[in-house]
Amino acid sequence: MAPAGEIKARFDAVSKRFGTGPESVLALEPISLEIPKNAFVCLVGPSGCGKSTLLNILAGFETPTSGVALMDEVPVVGPDPRRGVVFQQGALFTWMTVQDNVAFGPLATGKSPAEAVRIADHYLEMVGLTSFSRRYPYELSGGMQQRVGIARALANDPQLLLMDEPFAALDAQTRELLQEEIKRIWQDTRKTVLWITHSIEEALFLATDIVVMTARPGRIKARLSPQFALNRDPAVVASTEFVRMKAEIFGMLRDEALAAQRQEAAI
């Protein structure tokens, strides 16, 4: 574990406005948020609250309207292989084999082809896809495709993993299995993770920190520290504390979802 209080990344008064003039939309109010080293931070909030925008800003895909995102106290100016990104779907290189997908990062960051393949095989083994390395992504199920995406992001050995609803498009059973798997990977590698999800249970099961956001314009409504991330037992989801926190977050999100609905109706 890192010394207490060590910060891996943070948002310093980051706001985002899309468009200009009277038609513009304020997606994020100035947000300050710290992501401790080795933490697993889950952002939850109603649709359109700007959680993906926040992740895109830290990834370097979007620039904030004001404020700055920092990693190791260095401002983010663009994408960087030290930050691995996993998307919901549609981000794999369909024309490459699974192995080539995972080897892409190591190759891009200057490893020799042989070394890149060795790294790819290592991470494919970690996500249990060794026997699929010669297949193409379209030959795989949705859950396996997400594993490839995770292995690909891990292959650069990033210090920070940014994951934008990686399991949202999967069926419930696959999602649960992958949640257990990502928990194991996180416990083994102790990467710092910023994870976006709609699912309260997913957040409670995985996160060391849960950040609840408000409806647009997004602000931080609450920050919680559940204690289930280090637990390896899938049955924690039935514990009293888990159920209590779930109800608590559910109540917060319900208020925000209703607010979001009113906004939509007003438009």
Partner 1 sequence: MKAPSRTQRSRWINLASFGALLAFWVIVTTPFGDKPLVQPLFLPSPGSVWNTFITLTQNGYQGKSLWYHLGISLFRFGLAFTLTVLVAVPLGLWMGMNETVKAVLDPPIEISRPMPKLALLPLLIIWFGIGEVAKVVIIVLALFPILSISAMQAVRSVGRRKVQAAMALGASRTMIFRRVIFPASLPGIFTSVRVSIGLGVTMLVGAEMIATSAGIAFMAMSASDFLLTNVVIVGALMMATLGYTLDLCARALENRIVHWGGKEG
| CB 79 within 8 Å of CB 18 | no
For partner 1, the closer CB: 58 or 252: 58
Q: How far is the CB of 35 from partner 1 (least distance, A)?
A: 17
Those residues with Cβ within 8 angstroms of residue 51's Cβ, 6 or more apart along the chain or in another chain: 43, 44, 45, 196, 213, 218
Q: How far is the CB of 52 from partner 1 (least distance, A)?
A: 12
For partner 1, the closer CB: 55 or 182: 55
Q: Does 59 bind partner 1 (CB under 8 A)?
A: yes
For partner 1, the closer CB: 86 or 200: 86
Would you call the peptide bond into 217 cis, given omega within 30 degrees of 0 as the criterion?
yes
Q: Which position among 47, 66, 95, 261 is part of the footprint of partner 1 (CB under 8 A)?
A: 95
Q: Are strands 192-197 and 40-44 parallel, antiparallel or unpaired?
A: parallel
Give the interface segment with partner 1, choosing from 44-52, 68-76, 77-85, 174-182 (CB under 8 A). 77-85
Alpha-carbon torsion 124, 208, 68, 26, what sign? positive
* Strands of the sheet with 40-44, listed across from one edge: 83-86, 160-164, 192-197, 40-44, 209-213, 220-224
Q: Does 83 bind partner 1 (CB under 8 A)?
A: yes
Site for partner 1 in 101-160 (CB under 8 A): 104-105, 107-109, 136-138, 140, 145, 152-153, 156
Q: Tokens 């920050």 identify what position?
A: 223
| Binding region for partner 1 (CB under 8 A) | 59-61, 78-81, 83-85, 87, 89-96, 104-105, 107-109, 136-138, 140, 145, 152-153, 156
